[in-house]
Copies of this chain bind each other. A is one copy, B any other.
Amino acid sequence: MQPYDIAILTTGDELLTGEISDSNTRTIAGILSACGYRLRCSLSVPDQEKEIVAALEYLLDHVQFVIVTGGLGPTGDDRTARAAAKALGQPLVINEEALEMVHQWFSRNNRRMDPSNEKQALLPQWAQPLLNPGGTAPGFRLRHADCELFFLPGVPAEMKMMFQQSVLPLLQQKIPEATPLHQRTFKLFGLSEPKVDRMVPYHQLPEGVEVAFSLDYPLVLVKLKASGKDAELQLDQAEAQLLKELGNYLIARNDETPEENVGKLLTSAGLTLSLAESCTGGLLTTLLTSQPGASAFLERAGVTYADSAKTDWLKVPTLLLQQHGAVSENCARAMASGLRHTTGTDLSLAITGIAGPDGGTEEKPVGTVFISLASATGVHVKRYSFSGARSRIQRMSATMALEWLRRFVLQQIEEQTREK
């Protein structure tokens, strides 16, 4: 089932108290995955000799390659070398080669060596030291029966450099038949996960293509994975089949965000945009402007909370606000068309609603949101009822607005193509 038996063991109290997240596992996993290796598991234990020993004993019995990070420093809570010696039944001795590495690091960096740093050369008897170009702690390599273990320091930059220089080439030598995993991600908006699942044309996908789902609210992510020499071809076929069913809901793909996609579409279509936000509080604007080059299409954006801001900046008639309220179809429409009248942009989009937790009424409960888009072809407006906490309602509203923009630009492009 598992092509390669590789596991990661990270050590450190701070990993098990919620203070930091385990970036070393993520780094190693990312590099291995890109090279075609799959991890069997990752484990984290505190800086306790007993726990490190227990974890090593388990891994020795279950996997072929173990990458261990952390606990190689000079202080008292660095206990990994001792734990390794115990788990593998080897005495702990000063390793001359490692000691030389420590000395050289200090002389290379013109620093005086603290006696405590000698401890960093105290390794299990049969350890083979690994050079650490970025720090004082040498790594080391051990073998036990059928298992090969690599010990690296926990400092992320040192760990990463050593993994790439000393561990990865060895892994590639031992298991050269690795076949990189090719992967494509499709970000869908407007369908629930079960609905997407039902619409995936499983029977028409080439054999060997795996489908995986994940959620990135409010998006459903579908991943297609394949490996082997025909991977790209298989993925091309699978993608074509998938998009035949789901292409309409594709708001972005791979590493791209919906806002990047919409920004690119607007830029390539040469359309200008202005925005008026209320309940989303600037979220839509911030998403669009987080990308370089947003000023090419975005003329301006207003977060118009007060009625005075709506009448002054967006030219919403005071009477309309009095009659219909700021959260209404009429107001959304007036915001978008007033803004477009003022700015002269190709598109003006307005959002007004109640993000909560307060401000809801029976007629317009929290989650009531109006989106309106004004263009040369007219003004469209729609009422939505979103649910959840404030941040979810804001995120859903902003994503829905991005989807309006995406569909508008695509339709525009389609019409232009048809005219030709």
Contacts and interface: CB of A to CB of B under 8 A. Distances in A.
B74 A114 contact: no
A282 B286 contact: yes
A313 B290 contact: no
A27 B18 contact: yes
Contact of A198 (B18, B116, B293, B387): B116
A394 B290 contact: yes
Interface string A143-169: 000000000000100000000000000
Interface stretch (A208-216, A371-379, A401-409): A208-216
A121 to B, nearest CB: 14
B301 A282 contact: yes
A301 B55 CA distance: 52
A19 interface: yes
B289 A300 contact: no
A242 to B, nearest CB: 15
A249 to B, nearest CB: 16
A195 interface: yes
Contacts of A399: none
Interface stretch (A29-37, A91-99, A123-131, A328-336): A29-37
A193 B73 contact: yes
Contact of A197 (B34, B75, B213): B75
Contacts of A23: 21
Contacts of A54: 62
A343 interface: yes
Interface string A49-80: 01100110010001000000000011111000
- Pick from A16, A31, A302, A342 the residue with the most CB of B within 10 Å: A16
A281 B285 CA distance: 7
A38 B16 contact: yes
A75 B48 CA distance: 39
A171 interface: no
B2 A15 contact: no
A20 B214 contact: yes
A252 interface: no
A2 to B, nearest CB: 7
A116 B213 CA distance: 14
Residue with the greatest number of chain B CB neighbours at <10 A, chosen from A215, A280, A309, A343 = A309
A313 B286 contact: no
A50 B18 contact: no
A40 interface: yes
Contacts of A312: 342-343
Nearest to A220: B75
Interface in A318-345: 342-343
Contacts of A288: 281
Contacts of A343: 308-309, 312
A257 interface: no
24 contacts: A1-B50, A16-B38, A16-B42, A17-B181, A18-B34, A19-B214, A40-B51, A41-B45, A74-B193, A109-B387, A111-B192, A114-B192, A116-B197, A282-B282, A282-B286, A282-B303, A283-B289, A283-B290, A285-B285, A292-B357, A292-B390, A295-B306, A300-B305, A300-B306
Interface of A: 1-2, 12-23, 25-34, 38-48, 50-51, 54-55, 58, 62, 73-77, 109, 111, 114, 116-117, 155, 181, 192-195, 197-198, 211-215, 223, 275, 280-283, 285-286, 288-290, 292-295, 298-306, 308-309, 312-313, 342-343, 356-358, 387, 390-391, 394
Given A58-B58, A114-B194, A299-B305, 4 more contacts: A17-B38, A21-B25, A282-B301, A300-B303
